[in-house]
Amino acid sequence: MAVKRQKWSKEFGEWFRDVLINAGIMDYRYPIKGSGVWMPYGFKIRKNVLDILRYLLDTAGHDETLFPLLIPETSLAQEAAHVKSFEGECFWVTHGGYDKLKVRYALRPTSETVIAPMLKMWIRSHADLPMKLYQIVNVFRHETKATRPIIRMREVATFKEAHTCHATSEESEQQIQTAVELYKMFFDIVGVPYVVSKRPDWDKFAGALYTIAFDMLCPDGRVLQIGTVHNLGQNFAKAFDITFENKDGSQEHIWTTSYGISGRGIAAVLIAHGDDNGVVLPPIIAPIHVVVVPVPYKGKEEQVNEACKTVASKLEDAGFRVALDSRKELTPGNKFYYWELRGVPIRIEIGPRDLENGVVTIVRRDTLKKQTWKMDDVVSAMQTFASDITRDLKANAESWMKERVYRVDSLSEAKTLLKRKAGIVEVPWCGKDTCGHSLEEAVDARLLGFPEDTTETVDGECLVCGEKATNVVRVAQAY
C-alpha cells in the first residue's frame, strides 16, 4: 500500500478555497454571497460525480424529473413543521415586473412542497406505487452560518434530491434502507469514508419522522454532513391530502421518503484525497486520467514529441481520458505543478533517455513516486496504476478517519478530545433526548446521533444520567 501522506500544512478552509480557484473548479468571487461558478474543469468533475449518482439511482428504479423552481407560499405553508423551519431561510420573489404578486413565491429551499401537489394529481391507486423520482437542480437557502464554497452555499448549485412514495409504512422503511445502501455505494466508489448516524429528534429534517445522516471527517477535525435520508411518514401526504385507493377499495394516505446529496458530495472527494499540492482525483471522476508531458532535450525535441504523441493516442484508443501537454511556453516542471494541482491521477514523462531505453516514466499523483515502464506495455500499466490508485486512495482515507474515531467512557476525556478537534467521539448513552442535549452542552460539540446499523451491545453507563447505556452516541465539532 502507498505510504500515507501528510495531510495539510495550511488551514483547511483556506486550502479548500485556494485549491478550488487555482485548480479551475469553482470561482467563488461572484458578486452574490454564497453563489459560485462551476468552471470548465470543475464542471467536468461535477458531471462525472453526478453520472455515478444517476447510474445508482436509475438502476435502483428511480426516474429523473424536473420540477419548477418557484413555490407559491400557500404550498410551502401546507406542512407546519416544514414551513416553520424553512420560511426564514427562503429567498422570496415578491414582484413580477412592476406588479406586486398576490401570493409571493419562494425559490425552492428543497422540493417536498413542489412535488406534493403534483403527486396528489398523479397518484390514484396502489398500481401507481411505488413511485421513485429524483432531480438534480439548484436550491436556495439564505444560510445565516458562514458560507463556504460548495460546502455551504446560498445558491446550492448542485442538489440531487430523491422523493419516493409508497403504499405502506414497511415499504417506506425498506426504501430508507435502500437509500442508505445506495449512498454507501456512492461514497465507497469515490473513496470517501463516512459514519452513518440516526440524528437526534431535534436535528431531523423539518417534516420528517426521522433522519439518517452521512458525516465525513475533514482534515481539521470537524465533521461535514454529506448526505441525508429522511423518512417523512405520512406527514406530507396528510398535509397535501395525497391518497390512493388500496387493494380493498379504501382510500389511504401515501408514505413518503426523501434523500439528498448536494455539491458536498463532490467537495467530500476533494477533501478526502487532497494534499498540499492540490486535489487528487480518483480515476473514475477525473476529467483527465493521464497527462503525457514531453521532457525534451536540445536536438531531441522532435523525437520526444513524436513518442509522446504515439503514447497519448495509444492510451486514447484504449479508452483513457488523455491530455498531451505540448505547450511550448512552459517548462516540464511548470507542467508537473499544473497537473498535480488539478489532481490528474497519472503523469507520463518521456525524455531522450526514456526513448533510448524504450521506456516511459510514470508518476502517481497520490504518492508522487516515479517508476519506469516499458513503452510497449503502457496501456496495461495504466490499467494497473488506475486501479491501484483507486484502492489506495480509499484505504488511506479510511485508515486516516478510523484513527480519529474514539470510543471513550468519561466526560472529561470526551471534552479534551473534542476541544482539540481530535475527531469523532463515541460515548455510551441511555437513549434519552434530554441526556443527548445535556451532553452536547457539556462537551460543547454537536451530537451526530447514534449508529443505527450495529447490533453491538454497549457496556457502561450513560455519561449524563448514569443509567445503563443502550447505545453509543457520536459527538464532534461540526461544520
CB of 203 to Zn ion, least distance (A): 18
Rule CB under 5 A: say whether 288 interacts with Zn ion.
no
Which of Zn ion, ligand 5CA, none lies near 435, with the C-beta cut-off 5 to 8 A by kind? Zn ion
Q: How far apart are CA 131 and CA 166, in angstroms?
A: 7
Rule CB under 5 A: say whether 464 interacts with Zn ion.
yes
* Side chain identity, residue 310: T
Q: How far apart are CA 24 and CA 18, in angstroms?
A: 10
Write each residue from 387 to 426 as x if it is in contact with Zn ion (CB under 5 A), else as -, in one continuous string.
----------------------------------------
CB of 229 to ligand 5CA, least distance (A): 8
Q: Which is nearer to ligand 5CA, 230 or 474 (CB)?
A: 230
Report which DSSP code applies to 194. -
Q: Which is nearer to ligand 5CA, 269 or 346 (CB)?
A: 269
Return the residue nearest ligand 5CA (CB atom): 260
Count of residues that interact with Zn ion, criterion CB under 5 A: 6
Q: Are 192 and 226 in contact (CB under 8 A)?
A: yes
Collapsed DSSP state (helix, strand, coil) of residue 470: coil
Q: How far apart are CA 74 and CA 120, in angstroms?
A: 15
| Among 182, 189, 359, 430, contact with Zn ion (rule: CB under 5 A) | 430
Rule CB under 5 A: say whether 427 interacts with Zn ion.
no
- Identify the CA nearest to 52 among candidates 380, 345, 282: 282
Which of ligand 5CA, Zn ion, none lies near 190, with the C-beta cut-off 5 to 8 A by kind? none
Q: Which is nearer to ligand 5CA, 110 or 390 (CB)?
A: 110
| Among 129, 425, 462, 476, contact with Zn ion (rule: CB under 5 A) | 462
CB of 263 to ligand 5CA, least distance (A): 6
Which of Zn ion, ligand 5CA, none lies near 36, with the C-beta cut-off 5 to 8 A by kind? none
In the structure grid, which three cell numbers stand for residue 70, read together? 418557484
In the structure grid, which three cell numbers stand for residue 51, read together? 453520472
CB of 231 to ligand 5CA, least distance (A): 11
CB of 275 to ligand 5CA, least distance (A): 24
**Cis peptide, bond prior to residue 130, ω within 30 of zero:** yes
List residues binding ligand 5CA (CB under 6 A). Answer: 110, 112, 141, 143, 152-153, 156, 161, 205, 225-228, 230, 258-260, 262-264
Write each residue from 346 to 385 as x if it is in contact with Zn ion (CB under 5 A), else as -, in one continuous string.
----------------------------------------
Rule CB under 5 A: say whether 463 interacts with Zn ion.
no
CB of 110 to ligand 5CA, least distance (A): 3
Q: How far apart are CA 190 and CA 187, in angstroms?
A: 5
Q: How far apart are CA 173 and CA 214, in angstroms?
A: 17
Which of Zn ion, ligand 5CA, none lies near 228, with the C-beta cut-off 5 to 8 A by kind? ligand 5CA
CB of 439 to Zn ion, least distance (A): 8
CB of 210 to Zn ion, least distance (A): 19
CB of 402 to ligand 5CA, least distance (A): 22
Collapsed DSSP state (helix, strand, coil) of residue 60: coil
- Identify the CA nearest to 300 among candidates 255, 352, 237: 352
Q: Which is nearer to ligand 5CA, 112 or 275 (CB)?
A: 112
Strand partners, 407: 426
CB of 211 to ligand 5CA, least distance (A): 7
Tell the burial category of 215 from Cβ atoms under 10 Å away from its Cβ (0-12, 13-18, 19+). buried
Q: Which is nearer to ligand 5CA, 194 or 244 (CB)?
A: 194
Nearest-10 crossing angle of helices 433-443, 411-419: 50
Rule CB under 5 A: say whether 465 interacts with Zn ion.
yes
Q: How far apart are CA 331 and CA 146, in angstroms?
A: 40
String of DSSP letters for 65-119: ----SEEEHHHHTTSHHHHHHHGGG--EEEEETTEEEEEEEEEPSSSHHHHHHHH
Tell the burial category of 357 from Cβ atoms under 10 Å away from its Cβ (0-12, 13-18, 19+). exposed
Rule CB under 5 A: say whether 473 interacts with Zn ion.
no
CB of 122 to ligand 5CA, least distance (A): 19
Q: How far apart are CA 4 and CA 52, in angstroms?
A: 27
Q: Which is nearer to ligand 5CA, 15 or 214 (CB)?
A: 214
Q: Are 163 and 111 in contact (CB under 8 A)?
A: yes
- Centre a 10 Å sphere on the Cβ of residue 145 and count the other Cβ atoms it contains: 7
Which of ligand 5CA, Zn ion, none lies near 175, with the C-beta cut-off 5 to 8 A by kind? none
Report which DSSP code applies to 263. T
Q: Which residues bind Zn ion (CB under 5 A)?
A: 430, 432, 435, 462, 464-465
